Structure 1
Amino acid sequence: MSELLSDSADRPRRIVVGVGGGIAAYKACSIIRSFTESGHHVRVIPTDSALEFVGRATFEALSGNPVQTGVFADVPQVPHVRLGQEADLVVIAPATADLMARAAHGRADDLLTATLLTARCPVVFAPAMHTEMWEHPATVANVATLRERGACVIEPASGRLTGKDTGAGRLPEPDEIVGLATLLLERPDALRRDLVGRKILVSAGGTREPLDPVRFLGNRSSGKQGYAIARLAAQRGAEVTLIAGYTADLADPAALEVIRIRTAGELKEAVDKAAVAAEAVVMAAAVADFRPSTIADSKIKKGADEPDTIPLTRNEDILAGLVRSRRDGDLPNTSVIVGFAAETGDAHGDVLTHARSKLARKGCDLLVVNAVGEGKAFEVDHNDGWLLGADGSETALEYGSKALMASRVLDALVSLLERGGAAHAQNGPAS
């Protein structure tokens, strides 16, 4: 597992944003703005075709730097060599079929492709094209070539394309591209393709247990950590199913299936159904431990009819149930089960004491532990914690982005998958 780089991804970096000539070129504007607002030095290199969609002045205004397309502009500065040599990160969005073909074949017939040949930093291609073009054997081969050479070609989204067409090949949302690219500044190998062919189930977000048509019991989960794991697993090659509860208006990650749920009961039903085919299950959702014993048909009013107490019923433990099902042979494909624990210390012990106890009760293979508090764990973009293993291992997860934490959790998951799962899997949760 790679260590966190000593200099933070928040430190200003030199980022080249290449823009291919596709209708999605307008989305590059949001990517450029995100990088510049984070304090990075951005140079935009469009192709001539890209300038047919978005004007040079727009790219210059957003980046604060001049925009050129040819190798003979500003010759004394030798930009076709210097820009790539000095870059800390290159992001190509949209990456058209033509642009990736030229990059795969080592062409250097404009400033962007010449820059790609001199770049020795992480390079991210965000493809955008019609489904038939994405699935064509030539494009498949070009993508494989770029990946073999160390470039990161992220999986496109599925959805509305140009005109009335829909399908795979849609450019992922700008925030997703920026997030994945920024992760490479923290950890250059974070998007390696080590989950290709694996089926992964991830749950994320909070559940809500209705009390009446207006009120519910819920929690503060934003779903950001679970989404980060699902997104990264898909980009590392896995076939991912994401079961999502309530989230903080998060956009669905690209290249995976999303199933929506509301209550703990609905989550259990969805997990039980999807887990049968999964090789690994990551239960990052914040599940309500209790639900109201009865749900009022109308809003409970204040006054004489207001109840003194609200009886609660304990929800079934979904994580422990998964472990039991695996022990009983009902989940023959599942070799790794990962749980999450948001903990606080109290008079009976600190966070780790409670987490170790929870790991023993649940019987899962890995437990990701977060200390909860003001500005910690919930509703934030950064996190830290611990990763506890059923084998007794304990690894500190240093402070960093939730995407970085997701990469470390997936590293541990991959390690277990490669070993065929944990040896303790037959034991099941403690009674």
Structure 2
Amino acid sequence: MTRPVGILGGGIAGLALAARLAHRGHAVTVYDRDQAGGKLRRLTLAGESVDTGPSLFTFPQVWRAYLRGLNEPDPLHLRPLPGGLGVHHTPHGPVPLPVPPGHPLHPHWQRYLRAAAPLAPFLGVLLTTPPRLRDPLFRQAAAALLRVQGPHLTAQGWLAAQRLPPALTHALATHALNAGLLPGVAPPLYALIPALVGADVSRPADGMGALLDALLTFGQARGVQVREHAPVTRLDGQTLTLADGGTARHDLIVSALDPHRLAALRGRLVTSPVARRTVSGVGVYAVLPRPAPLPATSVLPPTDFAAFHVHVRRGALPPDTLTLVHAHGRQLSVLLATPATGEALTLGHPWVQAQLRRVEATLHAPGLLRDALATTTLAPDHYAQGGHPGGALYGPGLPAWRGGPLHPQPYRLTGGLWQVGTGVHPGGGIPALLGGVQIVDRLLREAGW
């Protein structure tokens, strides 16, 4: 039975769910205040197509499970990324992840892999299955996670118990920031990510923007209407009011917006103190005259996680920050974690320049952007326009017991209003988004949609 469904937000989660609902015969309309893609979009710089947003493709089994629900072949042509998760330039020395044989840290890396190994077969279940204890498969997967993490409630606590060398501990702790949280706050699962990812880190042959192209193509083939530049200003039950004064009513509304933004559309006031937000970021994207002599991925963690945490909670720019450097041909991206204050940080801002000098010194690449043919910068003020207050990339910071795959999150707010996306499936990146889509898709089917 065809029923009208409205999806608020045309990012990865909104578009992915739209295609799955339309595949089951529903008439789906996606509304976006800007252009489709959310944080994932393509810019043109110096004649080249440059992707913003997610830069790595991990846990491809989640993507393949999504495709099976559409009976679609994989159009992405994923290619292994040289160096996997990249070289992590910790205060104790550089650490490549995964650690290769022959490296002094390799025996410790192997011990770490053995500690995480019992969870590996269940990761796909945890990412794509509703967190319900009455589900025997989820119970089995949750039990595996709890056995691996033991009594430890945070990534920092779990790593401390492993007694790994400081350099490896620091590199692994950095991955808590995949959830926009510090190691002392993030669930233990985030300390396990490098082991669970292994060397299976990739990107589509045509760049990350190929994922957006695929989702749009899947939706178009199934009749999904994507209304770009159509801001929704109010939500009353299942009736939308648009910025142009028009209205639209759907039998079902699914919000792929940040929950705070959804609350505002419903006329409800929800506060978001800076101290409780996840991080925001500055993305510097450039096209160079020639390829940079750099690895595909370089990671510069904060020197001191505790100091970084204090600054972020106060809304102050830290002395140094998590920095991801991705080099791909002539394209270079430098991604800097910042407090979620909505600040308009430009390329010329003294703090941004200081972080770029740190990159140049650490990677032995002086004048990295000096001869760039073109650059552009996306900052917290950009991410705040359509997302969480202050531009928090992963929404509000949740306590460890509410994060990760065991999250007790409200996917269903009312009978006709549901939620999907990073804000309700904690964790950053493509796996969390696509996993959350499959969870909501299954729950909607069970509810008769």
Alignment TM-score, normalising by the size of structure 2: 0.23
**Which has the bigger relative contact order, CA under 8 A and spacing at least 6?**
2
Alignment TM-score, normalising by the size of structure 1: 0.24
Q: Could you say which structure has the larger radius of gyration?
A: 1
